[in-house]
């Protein structure tokens, strides 16, 4: 059990042996604080070897100074921990806009030079580092994939801690130090992430050391933690299951910080090496209380800066134009006495470099920070063992997720020894019909649980917590450190992590532009409990908008799949598990549904992204005068229902049925690498043939993708119209005008407009199916279920056997 304490432990007493170490740590912090400040302001004269002049100052001042001294203090003592104990440390920095601090440390230790040889560790290289910070087409002011060892940018605050816990999973020798700003600590994702300590297994996982950088201020307001007493903070973190240790920045801060980090590490190792892991291990959390922007200007223009919100970003606003500000900046920078910290070539002094860990132990070079280098392919089973049986088209009706659950159970078995695959879910695995997974593994949870809990042990491949934020962060950290995973979620609730997905997509996009970043496994979303089948829920559970969020990203960073049946879903997921550097969004229902394609047909359909279903078309799909397209399993079923009605009512009308399962295939290849080239696109969707497109989500997605296709006005798109309730499956289609009846009516209008000689028959059909639509609502209100002609429908009713033959 970890030792509990309130006052920070002291390092060894200062004596003649430790005095050089103490002085070295102080000098190390002086140099990295100086370099962090210089990056924000200077484009020339990086060592202040001449008086500071306006032309040495950048025209645009960007960066966040306020957090930098705290990040530097933490980095300094994590380095010392590595030197003292040989620990393997990965750093996740929540306040990512303090990147100037991280970069200063990477330059002093020489890591940046290894990846950017032009940024040499001397006067010239320091000048390039300073000029390149927040400079067009060079380094941004926040952490990014351009920097080695970075797996979290800190752009949107709140999920550094979840990412850190994801990185620690299945990395038993790794200590993930996570810096959490006290402003960041106010976010919902961080609040949920404190519970990550209850999931890590001390024997098989690494550990996370949270370090709260409590400087009291956000960009314009005091932080909540900054207004709390030590007793209140202690109660808060003890309630989360941590033992808080406080460090106050004072004269002996280096001794205090060194001792605190060392003791925290020893407490962690004590928990990990115990013969019997404690029921409720009190994992340490370090609370570092310091002034915001410590060491910066005390006062500017008569207003206090150090220790206030004014130190948050650029504390001296206009040194190029304001002589007083220029003088204040020079006084601040010279207060670090840079002439004492660098040699004649502008290199960091030898004793300062000696404060860094050995090359192979540097924090920025930790192997876990280079997930692409560590990634190993999964061992996957043959799909033939899990494919749905197709007796005839549409038969039998099964849940797509049943086959998928069995498949993932075998994926887990085959990769059990490698321990490189996990499933995360917000308490919905069994609700989403993936319970077969629990035949091969269990849910992982490491605090005592009630005896009635099922499938829950200390060591499992499934992590369930009622927090989409935590699931997203877990899987990001897990993937970016070289492993594989799946995020299963209700479709309507995954938009909770839209901002996190957005940041991750940008991370992937930039990673593709960094030559030394090797591909990592794709981030795989499996969304079910979809909008169209919320039989016992209601309007709040109906929302397919995550598709639209992804469509705002660069086309090479994501895929969107809507498989129409179980076999296409299996083929899709197999591909997703092999894919790299991509966000894969897969949407499929969990309720029993008709099965349309054999496994071989499914593979061919997936390869094409969309295809003509000749067996569902009239005239073998040739020379169509109306085209019905479906995208999404429930929407495809309605397309097929409409195709069958048209075949029965007007068999001489030439109807082509198309299914689209790779949504991006609709886009042009110049914007979407998966887009279908125009000649083939027109073979499927002829320019002179009207298209009725039945889509799973909001219609704007299809309009966006087809916008740059010639004659896109031939597409009439049906989709989710934000109409829902606790109602029957078919009533959802009636309410949103995606039902087979609506499609038949649309087709009749289109055909009548093209062929006036059939206008009378078309009008008769319009009246008939408009009447069916009117009759539907009273029926479901009275009976509570859909009419038998819908509820008991199957493909091929009333059609020749040839139409049902799966070989056609």
Q: Is residue 597 part of a domain?
A: no
**Same domain, yes or no, for 637 and 526?**
no
Task: Indicate whether 4 pLDDT > 60.
Answer: no
pLDDT at 508: 95
Each residue's pLDDT tens digit, 235-279:
999 999 999 999 999 989 999 999 999 999 999 999 999 999 899
Q: Is residue 604 part of a domain?
A: no
* 396: preceding bond cis by omega (within 30 degrees): yes
pLDDT at 533: 83
Q: Is residue 605 part of a domain?
A: no
pLDDT band (50, 70, 90) for residue 471? very high
- Residue holding tokens 């645009």? 60
Task: Indicate whether 44 pLDDT > 90.
Answer: yes
Task: Indicate whether 129 pLDDT > 60.
Answer: yes
**Same domain, yes or no, for 103 and 159?**
yes
Task: Indicate whether 40 pLDDT > 80.
Answer: yes
Residues 6+ apart with CB under 8 A from 763: 748, 752
Q: Which two tokens stand for residue 53?
A: 């002049």
**Same domain, yes or no, for 317 and 250?**
yes
pLDDT band (50, 70, 90) for residue 1? very low
- Please provide the distance, in angstroms rounded to a whole number, between the alpha carbons at the two ends of the chain: 67
- How does 262-284 read in b/e, with b if 16+ C-beta sit within 10 Å? bbbbebbbebbeeeeeeeebbbb
Domain of residue 670, CATH code: 3.40.50.920
**Same domain, yes or no, for 487 and 632?**
no
pLDDT at 502: 93
Ramachandran region of residue 279, left (φ > 0), alpha (ψ -120 to 50) or beta? alpha
Q: Is residue 314 part of a domain?
A: yes
216 vs 33: CA distance, rounded Å = 19
pLDDT band (50, 70, 90) for residue 368? very high
Each residue's pLDDT tens digit, 633-692:
999 999 999 999 999 999 999 999 999 999 999 999 999 999 999 999 999 999 999 999
**Same domain, yes or no, for 566 and 620?**
no
Q: Is residue 368 part of a domain?
A: no
**Same domain, yes or no, for 336 and 411?**
no
**Same domain, yes or no, for 588 and 614?**
no
pLDDT at 460: 97
pLDDT band (50, 70, 90) for residue 803? very low
Kind and range of the H or E run holding 267? helix 253-273
Residues 6+ apart with CB under 8 A from 506: 153, 155, 553
Q: Is residue 485 part of a domain?
A: yes
**Same domain, yes or no, for 552 and 413?**
yes
Task: Indicate whether 123 pLDDT > 90.
Answer: yes
**Same domain, yes or no, for 293 and 425?**
no
pLDDT band (50, 70, 90) for residue 8? very low
Cβ atoms of 169 and 474 closer than 8 Å: yes
Kind and range of the H or E run holding 716? strand 715-718
pLDDT band (50, 70, 90) for residue 799? low
Q: Is residue 7 part of a domain?
A: no
Kind and range of the H or E run holding 747? helix 740-754
pLDDT at 277: 85
Q: How far is CA 698 from CA 81, 502, 717, in A?
A: 53, 19, 9
167 vs 483: CA distance, rounded Å = 9
**Same domain, yes or no, for 712 and 777?**
yes
Task: Indicate whether 70 pLDDT > 50.
Answer: yes
**Same domain, yes or no, for 274 and 389?**
no
Last residue of a domain, one of 296, 323, 357: 357
Task: Indicate whether 320 pLDDT > 90.
Answer: yes
Question: Mean per-residue pLDDT for 445-471?
Answer: 95
Question: Mean per-residue pLDDT for 19-26?
Answer: 88
DSSP characters for 631-700? ESHHHHHHHHHHHHHHHHH-TTS-EEEEEE-BGGGGS-TTT-TTPPPHHHHHHHS-TTS-EEEEESS-TH
Each residue's pLDDT tens digit, 750-783:
999 999 999 999 999 999 999 999 999 999 999 9
Question: Mean per-residue pLDDT for 287-310?
Answer: 96
Last residue of a domain, one of 292, 323, 357: 357
pLDDT at 264: 98
Task: Indicate whether 531 pLDDT > 90.
Answer: no
Last residue of a domain, one of 292, 322, 357: 357
Residues 6+ apart with CB under 8 A from 36: 65, 68, 69, 72, 98, 100, 101, 103, 104
Each residue's pLDDT tens digit, 194-244:
999 999 999 999 999 999 999 999 999 999 999 999 999 999 999 999 999
Please state, rounded to an integer, the average pLDDT across all residues of the chain: 94
pLDDT at 798: 58
Domain of residue 210, CATH code: 3.40.50.970
pLDDT at 6: 41
Question: Mean per-residue pLDDT for 28-43?
Answer: 98
Tell me how long the chain is.
808
CB burial of residue 768 (10 Å; 0-12, 13-18, 19+)? middle
Domain extent, residue 799, equals: 610-804
Least confident of 214-228, 452-466, 539-553, 601-615: 539-553
Cβ atoms of 359 and 365 closer than 8 Å: yes
Task: Indicate whether 802 pLDDT > 70.
Answer: no
Tally of domains within the chain: 3
**Same domain, yes or no, for 624 and 690?**
yes
Model confidence pTM above 0.85: yes
Q: Is residue 533 part of a domain?
A: yes
Each residue's pLDDT tens digit, 650-667:
999 999 999 999 999 999
**Displacement of CA 556 from its chain's centroid (Å):** 16
Query: What is the CB neighbour count within 10 angstroms for residue 360?
Result: 8
């Amino acid at each position: 059990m970890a030792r509990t304490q309130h006052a920070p432990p002291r390092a060894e007493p200062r004596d003649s042996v430790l005095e050089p170490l103490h002085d070295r740590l102080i000098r190390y912090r002086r140099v990295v604080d100086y370099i962090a400040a210089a990056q924000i302001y200077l484009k020339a004269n990086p060592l202040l070897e001449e008086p500071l002049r306006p032309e040495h100052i950048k025209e645009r001042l960007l960066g966040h100074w306020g957090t930098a001294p705290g990040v530097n203090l933490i980095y300094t003592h994590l380095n010392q921990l590595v030197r003292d104990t040989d620990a393997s440390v990965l750093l996740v920095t929540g306040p990512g806009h303090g990147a100037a601090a991280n970069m200063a440390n990477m330059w002093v230790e020489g890591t940046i030079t290894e990846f950017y040889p032009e940024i040499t560790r001397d006067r010239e290289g320091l000048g390039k580092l300073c000029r390149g910070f927040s400079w067009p087409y060079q380094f941004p002011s926040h952490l990014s994939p351009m920097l080695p060892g970075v797996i979290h940018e800190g752009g949107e605050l709140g999920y550094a801690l979840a990412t850190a816990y994801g990185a620690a999973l299945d990395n038993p020798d790794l200590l993930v130090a996570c810096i959490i700003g006290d402003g960041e600590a106010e976010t919902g994702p961080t609040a949920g992430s404190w519970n990550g300590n209850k999931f890590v297994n001390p024997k098989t996982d690494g550990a996370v050391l949270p370090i709260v950088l409590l400087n009291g201020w956000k960009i314009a307001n005091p932080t909540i933690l900054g207004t709390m007493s030590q007793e209140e903070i202690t109660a808060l973190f003890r309630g989360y299951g941590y033992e808080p240790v406080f460090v106050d920045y004072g004269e002996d801060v280096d001794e205090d910080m060194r001792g605190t980090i060392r003791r925290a590490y020893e407490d962690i190792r004590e928990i990990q090496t115990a013969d019997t892991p404690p029921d409720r291990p009190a994992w340490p959390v370090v609370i570092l209380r310091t002034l915001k922007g410590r060491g910066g200007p005390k006062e500017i223009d008569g207003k206090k800066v150090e220790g206030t919100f004014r130190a948050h970003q650029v504390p001296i606003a206009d040194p190029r134009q304001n002589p007083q500000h220029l003088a204040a900046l020079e006084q601040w920078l010279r207060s670090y006495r840079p002439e004492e910290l660098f040699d004649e070539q502008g290199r960091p002094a030898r004793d300062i470099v000696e404060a860094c860990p050995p090359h192979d132990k540097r924090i920025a070079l930790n192997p876990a920070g280079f997930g692409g280098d560590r990634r190993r392919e999964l061992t996957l089973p043959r799909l033939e063992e899990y494919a749905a049986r197709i007796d005839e088209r549409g038969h039998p009706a099964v849940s797509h997720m049943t086959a998928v659950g069995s498949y993932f159970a075998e994926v887990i078995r085959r990769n059990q020894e490698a321990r490189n695959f996990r499933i995360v879910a917000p308490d919905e695995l069994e609700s989403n019909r993936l319970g077969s997974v629990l035949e091969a593994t269990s849910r992982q949870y490491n605090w005592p649980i009630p005896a009635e809990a099922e499938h829950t042990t200390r060591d499992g491949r499934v992590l369930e917590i009622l927090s989409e934020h935590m699931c997203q962060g877990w899987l990001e950290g897990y993937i970016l450190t070289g492993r594989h995973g799946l995020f299963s979620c209700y479709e309507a609730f995954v938009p909770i992590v839209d901002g996190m997905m957005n940041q991750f997509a940008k991370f992937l996009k930039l990673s593709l532009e960094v030559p030394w970043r090797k591909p990592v496994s794709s981030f795989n979303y499996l969304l079910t409990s979809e909008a169209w089948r919320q039989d016992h829920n209601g309007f709040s559970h109906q929302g397919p908008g995550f598709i639209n969020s992804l469509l705002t990203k660069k086309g090479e960073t994501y895929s969107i799949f809507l498989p129409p049946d179980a076999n296409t879903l299996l083929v899709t997921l197999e591909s997703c598990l092999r894919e790299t550097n991509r966000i894969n969004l897969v949407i499929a229902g969990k309720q029993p549904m008709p099965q349309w394609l054999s496994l071989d047909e499914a593979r061919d359909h997936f390869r094409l992204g969309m295809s003509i279903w000749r067996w569902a078309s009239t005239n073998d799909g040739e020379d169509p005068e109306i085209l019905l397209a479906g995208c999404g399993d429930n929407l495809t079923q309605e397309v097929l229902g409409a195709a069958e009605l048209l075949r029965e009512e007007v068999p001489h009308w030439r109807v082509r049925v198309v299914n689209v399962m790779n949504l991006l295939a609709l886009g042009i290849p110049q914007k979407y690498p998966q887009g279908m080239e125009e000649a083939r696109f027109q073979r499927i969707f002829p320019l002179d043939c009207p298209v009725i497109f039945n889509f799973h989500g909001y219609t704007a997605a299809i309009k966006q993708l087809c916008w740059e296709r010639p004659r896109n006005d031939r597409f009439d798109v049906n989709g989710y119209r934000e109409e829902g309730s606790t109602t029957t499956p078919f009533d959802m289609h009636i309410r949103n005008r995606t039902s087979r009846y609506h499609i038949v009516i649309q087709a009749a209008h289109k055909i009548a407009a093209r062929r006036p000689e059939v206008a009378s028959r078309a009008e008769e059909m319009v009246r008939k199916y408009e009447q069916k639509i009117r009759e539907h609502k009273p029926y479901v209100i009275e009976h509570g279920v859909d009419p038998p002609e819908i509820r008991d429908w199957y493909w091929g009713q009333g059609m020749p056997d040839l139409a049902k033959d799966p070989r056609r």
